C-alpha cells in the first residue's frame, strides 16, 4: 500500500498511477475522484495508519512541515518520499528532520508536468536514502525514469534547479523574440513554429561548451570568441531597441560578455562565461 499526502495537479497524477493507495488532501474535494480506486483518509493521522511508503507532494517546503510536523512521532520507522519541489538546502533540512525522527527519507525532483507522469519522457531525480530508492524502485518507475544521485538529499533538487534555470532563461529568450516580431504583427504561434526546431538544433552545441568548460581550455581551436559574441549581442540589442522592445532579458548576457572582454579575455571562447558566473561563489 502506498500513502499519498497532497492531491494537487501533480499529487493526483502520482497517486493515479498507483494501486492500491491511501490518499489524503487538505481540501477533501480533491480526493473525490479517487473514491472508487483508493482509500480516502479524512486526516493525515488516519492516512498514515496504513503500511507502506508515504509519498508527499505538497505546495512547498513550508507546507511539508505543516503536514508532517504534527504526526512526526508516528512516523518513526516509516519511509517518506518527498516529491514536493524544494531547494537543495530545504531538502537537506527535511532529511535532517527525518533523521532526527528515525524516518527513512528520499527526496525527489520531478522533471515533468502532471500529464506526462507514467508516460515516456517523464523523469524524476532522487537523492537521500539509497535503500529507500532501491526498495521502492518498482513504485518510482511507475511515474517515470528514476535516477539516484547520491546520499546528499539536496542533490536531486540541485540538478532539478540547474535544469530549470536553463529552461526558464530559454523561455524568457523566446518571449523576447516573440515581442520583437509582434511589433510587425507576427503571431507568437508562427514564431514558435520556427524557434522550436532551431533551439532543438542549437542544443547540440551544449556538449561542445561542456567539453570546453570541463577542460578549462578556453583558448582551444574552433571556439566562438567572446569578441565575436559581443558583436552578435550588440547587434541583437540594437535590433531589440529598434523594435521598441525591452532589453532586460538580453542585456545581462551582454554585460557578462563585456566584463570578460574588459578583463582582457576577448580572444577566449564564449564558454568562459561559466568562469565569470561561478566566480561569485
Ligand atoms: P497544486 O497547487 O496543484 O497543489 C498543491 C497541493 O499542496 C494541494 O494538494 C494543496 O492542498 C497542498 N497544500 C498547499 N499548502 C498546504 C498546506 N499548508 N497544508 C496542506 N496542504 C497544502 O500544485 P502541484 O500539485 O502542481 O505541485 C505540487 C508539487 O509538485 C509542487 O512542489 C510543485 O513544484 C511540484 N511539481 C509540479 C509540477 C507541475 O507541473 N504541476 C512539475 C514538477 C514539480 P489544497 O488542495 O487543500 O489546497
pTM, full prediction? 0.93
Rounded CA separation 260/227 (Å): 9
3-state SS class at 10? helix
39-67 tens-digit pLDDT: 999 999 999 999 999 999 999 999 999 99
CA distance 252 to 255: 5
Atom of ligand 1 nearest to the CA of 86: 32
Smallest Cα–Cα separation from 122: which of 114, 131, 130, 112?
112
With a 6 Å cutoff on the Cβ, whether 215 touches ligand 1 is: no
| Closest protein CA for atom 46 of ligand 1 | 27
Task: Report how far residue 45's alpha carbon sits from residue 104's, in angstroms, rounded to the nearest whole number.
Answer: 18
Atom 34 (ligand 1) nearest CA = 85
Domain spans in the chain, listed from the N-terminal domain onward: 2-152, 183-277
CA of 102 to the centre of ligand 1 (A): 26
Contact 50, 34 (CB under 8 A): no
- Of 3.40.50.300, 3.40.50.12780, 1.10.1040.10, 3.40.50.720, the CATH number of 183-277 is 1.10.1040.10
Contact yes or no for 68/75 (Cβ under 8 A): yes
The C-alpha atoms of residue 264 and residue 200 are separated, in whole angstroms, by 33
Query: What confidence score (pLDDT) does residue 123 get?
Result: 97
CA atoms within 13 A on the CB side of 129: 23
* Amino acid 281: pLDDT: 57
pLDDT tens by residue, 61-99: 999 999 999 999 999 999 999 999 999 999 999 999 999
User: Which residue is closest in CA terms to ligand 1's atom 2?
Assistant: 8
Distance, CA 5 to ligand 1 centroid (Å)? 10
Which one-letter DSSP state was computed for residue 270? G
The CA 85 to ligand 1 mean position distance, Å, reads 9
Strand runs labelled E in 9-75: 21-24, 39-40, 54-56
Question: Which CATH number, 3.40.190.10, 3.30.70.20, 3.30.1360.120, 3.40.50.720, labels domain 2-152?
Answer: 3.40.50.720
ipTM surpasses cut 0.90: yes
- Are the folds of 2-152 and 183-277 the same? no
Choose the residue to mutate in 13, 15, 58 for probing ligand 1, maximizing ligand atoms within 8 Å of C-beta: 58
Q: Whose CA is nearest to atom 14 of ligand 1?
A: 59
Block means of pLDDT (10 residues each) for the chain, length 281 residues? 97 96 98 95 97 98 98 98 98 98 98 97 98 98 98 98 96 98 97 98 95 96 96 98 98 97 97 90 57
What is the phi-psi region of residue 118: left when phi exceeds 0, alpha when psi lies from -120 to 50, beta otherwise?
left
Give residue 77's region: left, alpha or beta (phi > 0; psi -120 to 50).
Answer: left
What confidence score (pLDDT) does residue 279 get? Answer: 80
Query: C-alpha grid cell for residue 2?
Result: 502506498
26 lines ligand 1 (CB under 6 A): yes
CA of 89 to the centre of ligand 1 (A): 19
Distance CA(26)–CA(40), nearest Å, equals 12
Ligand 1 mean position, distance from CA 281 (Å): 32
pLDDT score of 203: 95
Whether the CB of 43 sits within 6 Å of ligand 1 = no
Amino acid at each position: 500500500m502506498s500513502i499519498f499526502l497532497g492531491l494537487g495537479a501533480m499529487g493526483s497524477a502520482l497517486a493515479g498511477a498507483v494501486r492500491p493507495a491511501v490518499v489524503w488532501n487538505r481540501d477533501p474535494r480533491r480526493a473525490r475522484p479517487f473514491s472508487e480506486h483508493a482509500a480516502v483518509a479524512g486526516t493525515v493521522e488516519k492516512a498514515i495508519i496504513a503500511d507502506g511508503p508515504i509519498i508527499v507532494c505538497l505546495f512547498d517546503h513550508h507546507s511539508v512541515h505543516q503536514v508532517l510536523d504534527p504526526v512526526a512521532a508516528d512516523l518513526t520507522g516509516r519511509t517518506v518520499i518527498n516529491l514536493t519541489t524544494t531547494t537543495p538546502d530545504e531538502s537537506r533540512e527535511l532529511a535532517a528532520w527525518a533523521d532526527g525522527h528515525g524516518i527513512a527519507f528520499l527526496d525527489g525532483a520531478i522533471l515533468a508536468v502532471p500529464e506526462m507522469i507514467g508516460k515516456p519522457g517523464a523523469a524524476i531525480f532522487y537523492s537521500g536514502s539509497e535503500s529507500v530508492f532501491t526498495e521502492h524502485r518498482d513504485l518510482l518507475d511507475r511515474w517515470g525514469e528514476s535516477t539516484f544521485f547520491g546520499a546528499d538529499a539536496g542533490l536531486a533538487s540541485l540538478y532539478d534547479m540547474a535544469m530549470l534555470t536553463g529552461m526558464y532563461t530559454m523561455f524568457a529568450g523566446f518571449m523576447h523574440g516573440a515581442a520583437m516580431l509582434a511589433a510587425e504583427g507576427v503571431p507568437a504561434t508562427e514564431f514558435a513554429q520556427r524557434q522550436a526546431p532551431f533551439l532543438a538544433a542549437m542544443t547540440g552545441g551544449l556538449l561542445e561548451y561542456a567539453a570546453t568548460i570541463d577542460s578549462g581550455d578556453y583558448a582551444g581551436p574552433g571556439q566562438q570568441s567572446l569578441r565575436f559574441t559581443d558583436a552578435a549581442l550588440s547587434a541583437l540589442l540594437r535590433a531589440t531597441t529598434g523594435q521598441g522592445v525591452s532589453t532586460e532579458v538580453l542585456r545581462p548576457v551582454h554585460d557578462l560578455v563585456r566584463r570578460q572582454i574588459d578583463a582582457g579575455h576577448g580572444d577566449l571562447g564564449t564558454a568562459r562565461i561559466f568562469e565569470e558566473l561561478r566566480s561569485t561563489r
